Chain A
Amino acid sequence: MNLVMRIKDFSPQRKFAWSVIGIILLIGLQLSYMRFFKGFASVTNLSDEFPWGFWIGFDVIAGVALASGGFTLCFLVYIIGYHRYHSIVRPTVLTAFLGYILVAVGLLYDLGKYFNIWHPLVMWNPHSVMFEVAWCVMLYLSVLFLEFVPMVLEKFNLQTPLHFMQKITIPVVILGVLLSTLHQSSLGSVYLIVPEKLHELWYTPILPLLFFLSAITVGPAMVILESALSSKIFHRGLELNIMVDIAGFQLVGMIVYVGVKIQDLFVRGVVPSLFTGSYEATHFMLEIGILLAACLILILPKLRAHPRWLLLSSILTVVGILYNRLNISWVGMMRSSGTFYFPAWSEVFISLFLVTIGAVAFYFIVKWLPVFPEIEGNEENA
């Protein structure tokens, strides 16, 4: 009864948004059924020639990078001591926690024998990068859970465990930063084994370093983007001075990342292959171009301090890093595979389905738990 009344009170935009979400969830459920009961061929364009497609590229390789806001911000706040960013720690930790859960769920869709996902726990192969990534992601998910759980404890006013959690915050954060450093870079190491398959513009022995640098670049950008979005959706103010500050860290990371990336092209002597007119070259130039545009906005202090430009630079950064991950997992792997891969609509839709679930979960958790102090318990605003 209560729910019906509330839906009646929704504004037209809100009704529309919820209808779209509902439709996405319904179609996503149907596609999930097909994936798990009819096999890959029914929903994907994956093949023996191209065994890793959109799900690995977007849900896992890019997803992990985009969820890096958690460890970068926790590093700044708890290790370096920038306690004035404290107000955005909780939404960021929540985003990272949900992000990593989505990565794990996305992985379930991509694993042929998803019910064996726990096997790396007991069946070890320390020579495998995938083994290390599996362990790091599992452990980091636990760390994120520990960082998330104080919000629940606070909600139910459980003081004793809350005090205990506060005491172990710094060791937990250190563990989180270490694990993130390892698996963010290891996702780059995953591609070290394919020197003859990944296009030379992207294949470099320093892939792990580039993956790590790009992760700490996109982390702050995701924090800004996510804060801007929640300020819109939850009608709360944007802490602009904090955002501008964080954008400063992002700029440093980005300059180092793009610098190392370009220098690496010279060191390996593959600059000529930028000008061969191949589709790889086009994609590579676009990828770098997007990041340079974001750099340019942040370098100019006037633009950086302007909310719209700041938001634009964050979007560009996120798109640029996402583009990089898809270039490595998809564009750069295509020529050697001897086939043309383009994801089936259902592949993309399942990823959209998962992202939607994440966003809806974020929405309801913010309504329920003390994520943003002023929204907690304010359920009438739903």
Chain B
Amino acid sequence: MQETKPGKAILLDFTECIGCGACEQACAKEHGLPADPPEDRLSHKNYTVVLENKGQHYRKMCMHCLVPTCVSVCPVGALEKTDEGPVVYHPDRCIGCRYCMMACPFQIPKYEWEKPVPVIRKCIMCNERVKEGGETACSWVCPTGACRFGSREKLLAIAHRRIKAFPDRYVDYIYGETEVGGTGVLMMSGVPFADLGFPEDLGTKPLSELTWTVMSKIPNIVITGGLLLGGISWIIHRRMDIEKENLISPARNGQLNIKPVEQLDKEIVKGEEQSGKEG
């Protein structure tokens, strides 16, 4: 079905994060959001948050899946996976059904519940900058290298090398390498990802495959169903017509009717029908 386009990616090394919040500030400035995150959670006012748990800082943001669930569910294609890697949003196409919010396995898209004409808000991996060959605001501003931007393949190689070199420092797992078919944001941590609230049982296949197995059968259902219904209807009505004809002129078939009671019944029904139409 959808093609996998690895493109650019972001590598988040939580063990290097000092929790300065420079990425949050840079993101807010880049996208014209209120500078101070009002709450410690993602909302339409902040695309990324830095949090702390078990003595380690970590960050939440859109994962920019390789085969994004939100892109697959959007009925009007308001969400799009670009060739460069970012998953972007076109508010002018959006109808506001919020299926993307429902379907996103990471619960990333947020909504402007207070506005009369709300739109979806989420990290778009600084699409404009990336398109022009630049890097994301958050990775550009990060003072420690906890947030790096680059091609997904290279970042993945770096991550594997780091885990190999410092096995005591990291959980032996790169979050996002395989989750729902792989994501454009890769994460390394010294604390198990489950403790940081990242869903762990997402599987390695894109969620959209669950739907596509059903959706792809629809043309068959339409053709088979249509022929079947048409056939059934034609046969039944043909038989009814023949019975009616027999009733009117039994001599035509050279035999009298065997079950006159049933046919009389049908005649009555037919009469009722006609009077129904007239009334």
A interface list, Cβ under 8 A from B: 36-41, 44, 46-49, 51-52, 75, 78-81, 83-84, 86-87, 110-114, 116-117, 119-120, 123-134, 170-171, 174, 177-178, 181-182, 189-190, 192-197, 205, 208, 370, 373-374
What are 14 inter-chain pairs, A to B, with CB distance below 8 A? Answer: A40-B113, A48-B107, A51-B101, A79-B233, A81-B233, A83-B269, A112-B118, A113-B119, A119-B93, A120-B95, A125-B77, A132-B215, A174-B230, A194-B102
Q: Which residues from chain B contact A190 at a C-beta distance below 8 Å?
A: 99
The count of A-to-B residue pairs whose CB atoms sit within 8 angstroms is 178
B189: Cβ under 8 A from any A Cβ:
no
B72: Cβ under 8 A from any A Cβ:
yes
Question: Known contacts being A123-B93, A193-B210, is A79 close to B99, with CB within 8 Å?
Answer: no
Question: Closest chain B residue to A135 by CB distance?
Answer: B75
B214: Cβ under 8 A from any A Cβ:
yes
Contact of B211 among A113, A192, A197, A373 (CB under 8 A): A192
B51: Cβ under 8 A from any A Cβ:
no
Contact A195 B118 (CB under 8 A): no
Contact B208 A127 (CB under 8 A): yes
Taking A125-B75, A194-B103, A195-B210 as given, write out 19 further A-B residue pairs in contact, using a Cβ cutoff of 8 Å, ordered by the A residue number.
A40-B113, A44-B113, A79-B229, A81-B237, A83-B270, A111-B96, A112-B97, A112-B98, A125-B77, A127-B208, A127-B211, A170-B237, A171-B230, A174-B226, A177-B225, A178-B226, A178-B229, A193-B103, A373-B279
A345 CB to closest chain B CB (Å) equals 17
Contact A193 B211 (CB under 8 A): yes
Q: Which residues from chain A contact B107 at a C-beta distance below 8 Å?
A: 48-49
Contact of A193 among B73, B93, B233, B276 (CB under 8 A): B73
B18: Cβ under 8 A from any A Cβ:
no
Please, how many angstroms separate the alpha-carbon atoms of A132 and B212 in the complex? Answer: 12
B interface list, Cβ under 8 A from A: 1-2, 42-43, 69, 72-78, 93-99, 101-103, 105, 107, 110-119, 199, 201-202, 207-208, 210-212, 214-215, 218, 221-222, 225-226, 229-230, 232-233, 236-237, 240, 269-270, 272-273, 276, 279
Contact A126 B225 (CB under 8 A): no
Contact of A208 among B111, B212, B214, B222 (CB under 8 A): B214
Please, how many angstroms separate the alpha-carbon atoms of A322 and B103 in the complex? Answer: 23
Q: Which residues from chain A contact B110 at a C-beta distance below 8 Å?
A: 48
Question: Known contacts being A39-B116, A79-B232, is A111 close to B211, with CB within 8 Å?
Answer: no
Contact B111 A51 (CB under 8 A): yes
Q: Which residues from chain B contact A129 at a C-beta distance below 8 Å?
A: 73, 211, 214-215
Q: Which residues from chain A contact B114 at a C-beta distance below 8 Å?
A: 39-41
Contact A51 B233 (CB under 8 A): no
Contact of A174 among B1, B116, B233, B269 (CB under 8 A): B233
Contact of A126 among B101, B215, B230 (CB under 8 A): B215
Question: Closest chain B residue to A128 by CB distance?
Answer: B75
